[in-house]
Amino acid sequence: MTFNVLVQAIISGILVGGVYALIGIGLTIIFGVMRVINFAHGELMMVGMYMTYFLFTLAGIDPFVSIVITIPLMFIFGGILQKVFINRIIGTLPQNQILLTIGLGLIMSNSIMLAFTSDYKILTTSYSSASVSIAGISVSEPLTISFLITAVITAVLYWFLMKTDMGQAMRATSQDREAAQLMGINVQRMSILAFGLGASLAGTAGALISPTYYIFPQVGSAFTLKAFVIVVLGGMGSVIGATLGGIIIGVVESVGAVTISSDWKDVLVFTIFLLVLLVKPSGLMGKSRM
Amino acid sequence: MKSFSLTASDTRGFSAPALVIGVAILAALFLFPSFVQSPYVLHMMILLFLSTIMGESWNIIGGYTGQYSVGHAAYFGAGAYGTLILLQKWEIAPWFGMWVGIAVALVLALVIGSICFRLRGPYFVLASIAVAEIVRLTVLNTPTVTNGAEGILLTDIPPFKIGATVITDFVSKVPFYYISLVLALLTIAVTWLVQHSKLGYCIQAIREDQDAAHSLGISLSFYKNVALAISATLTSLAGSFYAIYIKFIDPTTVLALDLSVQIVLIAIIGGIGTIYGPVVGSLVLVPLSEALRSNVIAQGLINSGIVREDSGIGIFLKEHLAHAHVLIYGILVVIVILFMPDGVLGFVKKMTKKSGTGD
């Protein structure tokens, strides 16, 4: 294995890791604000993928442009899910929350399967397999664009959480729900906002990878697991942790695929996950929340 | 958590009518194949028993100990693969192979227990999923031993002999019916024994409050591991039975996360931490998903005139409803979590109690 191959693996790992980070940030915000572990997170991403697919095939909207439509739609969808279902189980046993979101995920993936069959759909754009070559290292074009979009979205999100009143209210809720409530923060609204935000981030991630990934109803569960690995690695509830975790997992997968084999890369990821749970369950950024 | 103590006292002594009904049901179940020869009906009963075995075994660790393992497919797969690999490659009969399956499942349980039981709540759930996924990927990626994604197809089962007399040659479904019935009764009996033993009281104390249980001198890791070992053994038996009965296994059917989730749902939908919860869950889930799978529901909607067969919806339902039988699991679990926290069994008990006091 040459040095170039390794560098290329690291770069494409970072690019994919950006999208992983987006999925992880959504999950971590939901956990931070509501203490609910969302097992339907990958399914939300899958819904985003289907939205992007149909916007592209029916209306001819480019997947990277369509996020302008996907983000608000997924926000509303997430808000409704929170209001109708998740809100009823906040503060109950974690097991019940897990099972409820597993149930919602099953409903989402199977409804999509019922409506559009389980056939693999492929979204082929003019640039799907295009790549640019810089100093002998070829970089996938759609992955690069999606990484740039991810970076912009993450930056906007940081600004929102750190600088705006609403963002501060959200951070306060995630630090201490009851104290935040005493301070006059509408925690109900924060929960809807958090789930809406989480859903739209997952949907965006779905939109961003749809030019380079197969689209099928069961695609979600693999990403749900990946999202957990990322969030636990970074520290539950930490946005910076999820960003770091996403990129680390992206690089581990991609380097693992070239150094060991692509069949075993997921085993590697899960082993790291177990090690983190055993050695440092609070994750890399466990102390600081958001 | 009140209902748990209620059910415990309900089953401590058997009242005379309950005993009569119990014996009558048992007799009916054992005589069933002499009256009903339809392979389809027998198949449904076998699926019902299999589902009961899986639900009851999960119930011991999930329902009684409160450790929600969402990785039980690993033990099921250990039983299924252990049995079939030995049978297909070395021609070792399944009634020996299943012990190897159990041994593998126990080793797995020990490893999983030592890693995961240090973690609590959601972390435990995530760790159990991760270990099961590692097992699935390992089986998938070692095709020399396990045939990988292709799976293992069982070509023939050796007849079961004692001495020189052939007890059964496994041609019809009847032997499978009795094996699964006995296994289901065995798991129910084990659950009953566990509930009424010291082990049962300790694991239920752990479920209610780990720290309080620990402060009373209950060894958390010992009792959790014992409960998991019992649960893993029974789940592995279910896996061995499944492999021999269905005669085909691959990582997607016996090791996937979907299976782990379905095992949990059997107990959740029926009612966790009760002896008959998983039985009720199976009675609800197996017929429902089978009705969807075999298109009875789509056909029923058409026959009853609600949907016209040649209309767009009719054609659509006939073609697709059969593929969406898992949808019913999703809808049921959402309903159960939101409206019936003690499962269908707990819900029915509450309803009958209400109407009883109303009279």
Domain annotation covers residue A290: no
The pLDDT of residue B359 is: 43
Q: Which one, of B226, B239, B162, lies nearest residue B199 by Cα?
A: B226
Tokens encoding B5: 């103590």
Q: Which one, of A272, A257, A243, A290, lies nearest residue A14 by Cα?
A: A243
Domain annotation covers residue A185: yes
The pLDDT of residue B14 is: 65
DSSP structural state of residue B61: I
A:208-247 residues touching chain B, CB 8 A cutoff: 221, 225, 228-229, 232
* Domain CATH for A219: 1.10.3470
Strands (E) in A111-242, as ranges, are 131-134, 137-140
The pLDDT of residue B167 is: 67
Average of per-residue pLDDT across B193-209: 87
Average of per-residue pLDDT across B154-163: 71
pLDDT greater than 90 at residue B55: yes
Compute the distance between CA of residue B34 and CA of residue B37 in angstroms, rounded to an integer: 7
pLDDT greater than 80 at residue B11: no
Nearest to A99 among B323, B331, B337 (CB): B337
Domain annotation covers residue A260: yes
How many separate domains does chain A show?
1
Residue with tokens 């209620």, as numbered in its chain? B6
Check if the interface score ipTM surpasses 0.95: no
pLDDT greater than 70 at residue B155: yes
Output the furthest CA–CA distance in chain B (Å, rounded): 68
Counting Cα atoms < 13 Å in the Cβ hemisphere of B238 gives: 33
The pLDDT of residue A288 is: 42
Lowest mean pLDDT among A49-63, A68-82, B27-41, B294-308: B294-308
Average of per-residue pLDDT across B265-283: 88
Task: Give the B-side interface with A, CB within 8 Å.
Answer: 66, 68, 70, 115, 118-119, 121-123, 125-127, 129-131, 133-134, 137-138, 140-141, 257-258, 261, 264-265, 268, 320-321, 323-324, 326-327, 329-334, 337-338, 341
Average of per-residue pLDDT across B191-202: 88
Say which amino acid occupies B275: I
The pLDDT of residue A156 is: 92
CB-CB contact of A211 with A127 (8 Å): yes
pLDDT greater than 70 at residue B184: yes
The pLDDT of residue B166 is: 66
CA B161 to each of CA B93, B169, B170: distance values in angstroms, whole numbers, following the listed order = 11, 9, 11
DSSP structural state of residue B118: T
Compute the distance between CA of residue A257 and CA of residue A266 in angstroms, rounded to an integer: 9
Lowest mean pLDDT among A79-88, B55-64, B260-269, B336-345: B336-345
Name which residue leads in pLDDT, B209 or B76: B76
Domain annotation covers residue A289: no
Domain annotation covers residue A103: yes
The pLDDT of residue A104 is: 93
Q: Could you list the residue range(s) of the whole structural domain that residue A72 is in? A: 3-279
The pLDDT of residue A286 is: 66
Determine the distance in angstroms separating the CA of A96 from the nearest CA of chain B, rounded to an integer.
6
Average pLDDT of every residue of chain B? 82
The pLDDT of residue A133 is: 75
**Percent of chain B at pLDDT above 70?**
86
Domain annotation covers residue A287: no
Domain annotation covers residue A147: yes
Nearest to B327 among A114, A264, A270 (CB): A114
User: Is there a contact between A99 and B115 if contact means CB atoms under 8 Å apart?
Assistant: no
Domain annotation covers residue A132: yes
Q: Which one, of B298, B269, B304, lies nearest residue B286 by Cα?
A: B269
**Percent of chain B at pLDDT above 90?**
18
Name which residue leads in pLDDT, B291 or B316: B291
CA dihedral A11, A12, A13, A19 (to 10 degrees): 120
For chain A, 290 residues long, the average pLDDT of each consecutive 10-residue run is 81 90 92 87 94 91 90 94 88 82 91 84 78 75 88 91 88 85 86 92 92 87 89 86 92 87 85 84 62
